[in-house]
Structure formats: structure tokens, C-alpha cells
Chains A and B, each alone.
Chain A
Amino acid sequence: MLNHRVISVIKRELKEKLLSKSFIIMTALVPVLMFGVIGFQVFLQMYNSDDAMTLIIASNSEELNTQVKNELSAEDFIKSGHYKIDYAVVEKENFSKYLDSIKKNLFSEKINGLIYIPDSSFKNKDLQYYSKISKNQEVFNKLNKPINNALINIYFKGKSLTEDEIGYIRSSVEFSSFRISSDQIEKEGYGNQIISFLLSFLLYLSLIILGQTMLRNVVQEKSNKVAEVLLSSLSAKELMSGKIAGTTVTGVIQMIIWLLPVIFTASTSWFMLPQELLFSISLYKILFFIITYSLGLVTYLGLFAAAGAIVDNDQDAQSMIWPVMILIMIPFFISISLQSNPGSIIGRVSSLVPFASLIVMPARIALVDVPVYEILLSVFINILTLIFVVIISGKIYRLGIIATGKKPSPKELLNWIKTSK
């Protein structure tokens, strides 16, 4: 099949794609975009903490105020002066009067908020927050721990507890995750979740972009009649194989470029990642990913090529995109849902279902240790799917590329598949 004609088509496709501006921009832009999104989130978080706040903390006793003040003094947002906190001692029965007196300032946001720590909080830890914007998670997150600590300090004072004991009481539970694989138990951070998401996302992006390009090119070749000239030199099968092979090579090159940071991080110690972002992904898994990706590309490009051959203008092409897109999108959403529950039954099943397997299995493999037989089974299923798609698409393409007139009905399509040699 790989004769000089197919190679000529592959060469032309590669030349057209690899040197095109859109390829270079996409290849460079996707990593920039991804890091950009992450960076923007970090920036947003930092910007949030930069919001200056003027608060009043009121309680029924000087002692509590002092304790809170002590605890808070160690916090960055106090040291940096972004949070200015005044303290007030208010008798329990006078609190509503006190509140009335500063209500105007709260409403005009001269004072952003009033935190009231009544003595009853030694029983139930219920605090009150008065503000124009009363649901400010930012404030609650920042003040929760110091105030809790202050309450604990006073509560256990004189109960003859050591510093260590108090320290223990103050702390809350933390989960560390350990991933069990066949040969080892290793501590795991969020790294693999991020990698799994990254792989799913790149797979999705790449399939959709390259698929649509394929569809557009086929429609163009058909509508500007170059297809007929080509078919006087080579068969439709050779033309389709060349186009798919050319695009697949382009896609794999692009994917490897995108994955370079991951590959480097996995195989060298050039990049130091923080503990919780460490991921463990072997080069075998990356290799499996790239192989599955290639199989997936060929499969989906076959579908897109057939879809393009059926229509002869861009508008009709839009309506042909959807059935194929759904075959990509549903598995993608399953992949994303795996992030929160990597062992879900729907993930396991769909990673062995034709088409879905191409997208779900790579995400699963990054998250959990998939048994070898399942991996082999998925490769087997993927290859069968690919052969099936290429045969059927080849038949549709063969007839579609030279058909004129209105697009065929499903019944006619079925007839094409039956009659085409």
C-alpha cells in the first residue's frame, strides 16, 4: 500500500501542514495557553489576597481579643498590612447598640466587616460576621484557624495540658494518598491527576482540530475538483491512506512536542516539582499513550474523511461533524469524570468500548494501575475498530469523493457501503 503515489501524497500533506502557520502557532500556543491558564489562576489567587480589608473583631473579653491578636500577628496578611484589624470589647447586652453605632461605617464600607466572638463560642464555636458582603470565604478562610487557635488556647488554659497536647488539639486531620501498584506503594500528590487531565485534554484538542482540518481539506478537494485530477493518477484508497498517514504523522510530531516537558520530567531530574505535584508516569505509559493516540487519529481521521467525502460544501460539512464529534466528546467527559473517581465502573467499561477506549484508556492509565490484560485488550479493540472504520470509510470515500449533487440519505450511504469495492 505504501507505494510512491501514497508517499507523494504524504509528502505533500506534511509539507502543507508542518510548514503552515497554523501548525506552528498551535504547537507553540497550546503549551503557552495551558501554562497561561494555570498562571492566570495563580495570579487571581494572589490578587485576591491583595484585597485590603479593614475589620473589627469584637468579643466580650480583653483576654480573648489579646489571644486572637497574638495568633493573627504571625499571619502574612497582617504583617503585610493588607488586613487592618481593630479590636473592641463589648458587653454581651450592649452588642446590638454597638452594632448600631458602626452600622453606617459597615454600609459605607469604611469598615469592611465586624467579627463578633461571643463568649458562647466557648461552647459552640459559633461566630458572627457582619458586613455589606457577608459571604466572604476569603475572610473566613484566613481567620478561621487563628481564631480557632485562640479559642482553644483559652479553653484549655488552666486545664494543665502541655503545649504538645494543645498543638494536637488544634490540628485537624489531613489525608495523604498512597498509590498501590503491583510492585510498590508510593506516596501520591495531585501530579497524576494533572497529567491525566492534561493527556485527555491534549488528545481531545488534537483529535478535534486535526479531524476538522481533514474534513475541510476533503471537502475542498472535492469542491475545487482537484480530487478528480488526483484520481486520474491514483486510487481513492491510496489518496485517503496518504492523507490520513500524512495527518497522523503531523499529529504525532505535534503531540510529542507538547509532551516533551512531561517526558523530560518523567525521565530526568531537570525539573524539580513540589512534592504534591509529583507524578509517576513511566515512559512506557507515554509510549502507550502515543501509540493509542496514533490509532485514535487514524480511526477518527477515517471517519472525518468519509464525512467530508459525503458533502461538497462547508455548510453541509458542519452537520456531518456532529456525529463524529459526539464520539470524541462523550469519552472525553468520561475521562474528565475519572479525575474524581479513577476506579469508577463506567471508566472501566468505557475504556474497553470501541472509540471510547481510544480516549478513556490513556486517562485511566495515567491515574491507576490498569491490569496488563485490560491494556492489551484495549489495544486489540482499538485495532479492530480502526480496521473496521478504515474499510467502511474507504468505501464511502471512494464513492463520495466523485459523487455530485445532494448529499446521500442514510439509506443511500448504506447502499454505497454495500456496493463499493
Chain B
Amino acid sequence: MLALEVKNLTKTFDGIKAVDSVSFVIPEGSVFGLIGRNGAGKTTTIRMMMNIYLPDSGEVLLRGVKVGQEFRDKVGYLPEERGLYKKMKVLETLLFFAELKGKKGKAIEKSAMEYLERFELTDRKNSKIEDLSKGNQQKVQFIATILHDPEFIILDEPFSGLDPINTNMLKEIILELKRKNKVIIFSTHLMEFAEKMCDHLAMIDRGKIILSGSINDIKAQYANCNVSLNYEGDISFLKSLPFVEKINDFGNTTGIKVKANENIDDLLKALVANNIKIKKFDAHDISLHEIFIERAGKDAVTDPAAEMGDA
């Protein structure tokens, strides 16, 4: 079942195509990651999904119907650049944003108090937003995003600027929302987070989708003949081996692609024979980072047209 379909969205600013014919689908109950570097077009795509930007062409369908106010009411949106009324009080702010979504009364106030309790902000409920620390403002912003119990939660770069504790808290809540069968859509340039959190994704680069689908399918497709390796020693000799197709060094982990499945054993043998200390050897595994680089090019200055192939 598809919750949202993004079809051929295009947006041009000053003659530059920020988003170029972007399409992807988001299934019901999924945690969906929109992944790409800074400036790839993630925020523009999300803003078009939210109807904040009008697309030059293309459309977004909510369960088959073009998105409009109904979608706005069902969504909780956390923009990349957070914004609250500085002079408003914490609880007042939360209730105002919930009221905009059509939720008011005792129940929502109770729910707001519960969230404040959970985020350790109960004693600040009557403080003005401007008197809170930046971290606390972010917490308030996040509560405002989910307080009205939306079916869809759209988070634009939710982890940027969060300290480790808040990052963990946010992850926990995302997983909790997932268990409640909400659709969670977030954009990020942090591959590791996307890898851990989402079950579906779309990779965007220079305004175009270069890859999309379920993370398992994608990995299965790309992990074949790939080895994820952690080691100590010098592996430069691998380059000369005939069955090694490609070596991607990410510092921590190295991705090695071999020509055929049976070459994986050859690779392991060669490593042992050359006295490389192996810490991790994952056959048929590949990180999102590797896939992204394979699709988008390592340094982002290569000819984009060549990378876009079957996107």
C-alpha cells in the first residue's frame, strides 16, 4: 500500500533546476529516508511535498489524491531551520501549533504536559521561548511537530545540531512512532543514520533521484560480490589481483568488490596470505555510503550526466 507518491516534481530557481523530475514512493508504515548531500534538493523536494513551494511541474499524491489541506492536517513537519515565536511561552506555543491542526481542549493539553515531562521541560512550561537554551528550543519544536498525533511525520535534517543525548531521544521517538504505524519521512546527509533508521529510501543528487526503493532490495542488489572489511595492515597489493574489481576506502571500513561470488573466498585467502589482520569481514554486505558513492561519484565533481543512468 502506498501512502505517498511523488511524481515528476520539478522546481527551477533562477534558471537552475534545483529539483529535476523527482519521483519516488513511500509505502504505508515505513520509515523513509531522503538521502543526499547538502544542496542536493532534499529541502526543496520536501517543501514541495508540504505545498510550501509550488512545483513547476509534477504532483504529490496522498493515497491517490493530490495533496492539499487534508495532508497538512495529517502531517507534522519539522523544517531544517527551526522557528518558533520567541515571545510566546512554551505551553502556549505547543497549544497554538496543535490548534492550527485542529486539535484543542483538555486532551491535547494533557498530552502536551506528558511530552514536556518526558523531555524534562515541565518546569519551563511558562517560560518564554527566547529564554530557553537552543537544545530546549529544539525539543519544544519537536514536541510541536508530533503533539497533534499526525499520521505523517516529516523531518528535514532532524539530527543536525542535536547533541548525542537528544539524538538518541529523537531516534527512540522515531522508532516509537514507527511502532504506532506512522509514516516517517526524514531527510539527511548522514548515511549511518539513514542506514540504521529507515526501511525505504530515495537518494537524491544534484536534483535528481539516483536510487530509490526498500533498503533491503537495494542492499541485496548492490551487496552481491561486495565485501565490507575492517583490517590492520597494507592492502595495496589487492589492486593487482585480477578478481578485484574496485576498492572503496572509507577510512574505517573498506568496501571491496570482486568479479564473481566465488572470488570472495579468494579474497579472504589473499588477505590471510599477506598477513593482514582482519577485524571484520562481511561478505555480501555493503554500506549505504558505498552505494551512494557508487551511484553519485566519490567527489561529486564528476560529470553528473554519466551518473544518472537508470535513475
Asked whether, in the complex, the Cβ of B100 is within 8 Å of the Cβ of A5, the reply is yes
Asked whether, in the complex, the Cβ of A402 is within 8 Å of the Cβ of B53, the reply is yes
Segment at the interface with A among B21-29, B71-79, B211-219: B71-79
In the complex, what distance in Å separates the CA atom of A221 from the CA atom of B88?
13
Q: Do A229 and B77 contact each other (CB < 8 Å), given the known contacts A402-B47, A402-B53? A: yes
In the complex, what distance in Å separates the CA atom of A267 from the CA atom of B54?
54
A374 within 8 A of B: no
Main secondary structure of the interface of B (DSSP, over half): loop
Q: From A221, A225, A421, give the contact of B81 (CB < 8 A).
A: A225
> Most chain-A CB neighbours within 10 Å: which of B51, B83, B86, B97?
B83
Asked whether, in the complex, the Cβ of A225 is within 8 Å of the Cβ of B83, the reply is yes
Asked whether, in the complex, the Cβ of B54 is within 8 Å of the Cβ of A421, the reply is yes
Interface residues of A in 209-238 (CB under 8 A from B): 221, 224-235
Chain A residues packing against B (C-beta within 8 Å): 4-5, 8-9, 11-12, 16, 221, 224-235, 402, 421
B84 within 8 A of A: yes
CB distance from A24 to the nearest CB of B (A): 16
Asked whether, in the complex, the Cβ of B100 is within 8 Å of the Cβ of A230, the reply is yes
Q: Do A232 and B83 contact each other (CB < 8 Å), given the known contacts A8-B96, A402-B53? A: no
Chain B residues within 8 Å of A4, by CB = 99, 102
Q: Do A16 and B79 contact each other (CB < 8 Å), given the known contacts A231-B50, A402-B47? A: no
Asked whether, in the complex, the Cβ of A229 is within 8 Å of the Cβ of B84, the reply is yes
Main secondary structure of the interface of A (DSSP, over half): helix
B66 within 8 A of A: no
Chain B residues within 8 Å of A229, by CB = 77, 79, 82-84, 97, 141, 144
In the complex, what distance in Å separates the CA atom of A234 from the CA atom of B96?
13
> Most chain-B CB neighbours within 10 Å: which of A5, A8, A221, A226?
A226
* 4 closest A-B pairs by CB: A225-B83, A232-B77, A226-B83, A233-B100
B85 within 8 A of A: yes
Q: Do A226 and B85 contact each other (CB < 8 Å), given the known contacts A232-B77, A234-B72? A: yes
CB distance from B85 to the nearest CB of A (A): 6
Closest to B75 in A: A232
Q: From B50, B81, B96, B101, give the contact of A12 (CB < 8 A).
A: B96
B306 within 8 A of A: no
Chain A residues within 8 Å of B85, by CB = 224, 226
Contact with A along B47-76 (1 / 0, CB 8 A): 100111110000000000000010011010
In the complex, what distance in Å separates the CA atom of A5 from the CA atom of B54?
21
CB distance from A16 to the nearest CB of B (A): 7
Q: Do A228 and B100 contact each other (CB < 8 Å), given the known contacts A233-B72, A402-B47, A402-B52? A: no
In the complex, what distance in Å separates the CA atom of A226 from the CA atom of B96?
12
B87 within 8 A of A: yes
In the complex, what distance in Å separates the CA atom of A348 from the CA atom of B288?
74
> Most chain-B CB neighbours within 10 Å: which of A9, A11, A224, A235?
A224
8 sample A-B contacts, Cβ–Cβ < 8 Å, listed by A number: A5-B100, A16-B88, A229-B77, A229-B83, A229-B144, A232-B154, A233-B72, A235-B51
CB distance from A314 to the nearest CB of B (A): 15
Closest to B43 in A: A228
Closest to A412 in B: B14
> Most chain-A CB neighbours within 10 Å: which of B51, B73, B75, B100?
B100
Chain B residues within 8 Å of A421, by CB = 54
